[in-house]
């Protein structure tokens, strides 16, 4: 009953991104990104070498990462308690960026795999995509207010995370002073249309990289 109550509370209450528990990764603590990612590299000729992972001690820029659709929660939108699926995707997709940048990765109430399966089967789950966006925007605003301090930042997303970041650029970055701090946006697994022969489209002043 206690776990159920916690889950319901996490789903219904807006997250407070001043609290460490709402972040999967944040600099200066032991979390999903603070792990040894030393790797065996196998070359084309079969030669093996060890590539030691070294986290950047004085990173020159930040990375703000939003993870893809991974939640197996049974509700249309996920709660804010990280499960093994969120922790695993952070390790696979985000943690290694820590060799170059400070990684910030918020939890957010994403549309779940459960809801997507229901949609694909013809159902109508009560998904709230705006809730997912609001969470990420709130995390972004907290990051800017408390952690950024004028640093350049790379946005990194995948799948649903890329879709949310696309909205974030259009609604909270483009045309605002913070745009000058945007180094690039890696919006993987999502469409960002541009006009034929142009570098802009969905975004009016944030051009496609070449």
The answer to whether residues 102 and 27 touch, using CB atoms and an 8 Å cutoff, is: yes
Check pLDDT > 90 for residue 77: yes
Check pLDDT > 60 for residue 176: yes
Report the pLDDT value the prediction gives residue 7, as an integer from 0 to 100.
42
Neighbours of 23 (CB within 10 A): 23
For all residues of the chain together, what is the average pLDDT?
93
pTM: 0.90
Report the pLDDT value the prediction gives residue 12, as an integer from 0 to 100.
54
Which DSSP symbol is given to 99? G
**Could you read off the pLDDT of 42-73 as tens digits, one per residue?**
999 999 999 999 999 999 999 999 999 999 99
Check pLDDT > 50 for residue 3: no
Report the pLDDT value the prediction gives residue 13, as an integer from 0 to 100.
84
- Phi and psi at 169, nearest 5°, equal -60, -45
Residues 176-198 have a mean pLDDT of 94
Residue of higher predicted confidence among 130 and 4: 130
């Amino acid at each position: 009953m206690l776990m159920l109550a916690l889950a319901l509370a996490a789903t219904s209450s807006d997250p407070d991104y001043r609290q460490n528990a709402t972040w999967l990764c944040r600099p200066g603590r032991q979390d999903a990104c603070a792990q040894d990612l030393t790797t065996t590299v196998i070359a084309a000729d079969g030669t093996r070498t060890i590539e030691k992972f070294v986290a950047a001690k004085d990173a020159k820029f930040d990375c703000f990462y939003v993870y893809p659709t991974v939640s197996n929660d049974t509700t249309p939108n996920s709660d804010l308690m990280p499960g093994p699926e969120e922790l695993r995707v952070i390790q696979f997709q985000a943690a290694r960026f820590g060799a170059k940048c400070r990684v910030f990765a918020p939890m957010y109430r994403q549309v779940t795999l459960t809801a997507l399966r229901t949609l694909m089967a013809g159902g109508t789950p009560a998904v709230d995509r705006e809730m997912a966006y609001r969470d990420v925007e709130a995390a972004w605003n907290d990051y800017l207010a408390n952690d950024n301090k004028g640093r350049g930042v790379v946005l990194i997303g995948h799948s649903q995370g890329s879709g949310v970041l696309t909205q974030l650029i259009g609604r909270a970055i483009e045309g605002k002073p913070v745009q000058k701090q945007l180094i690039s946006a890696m919006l993987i697994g999502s469409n960002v249309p541009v006009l034929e022969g142009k570098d802009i489209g969905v975004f009016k002043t944030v051009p496609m990289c070449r």
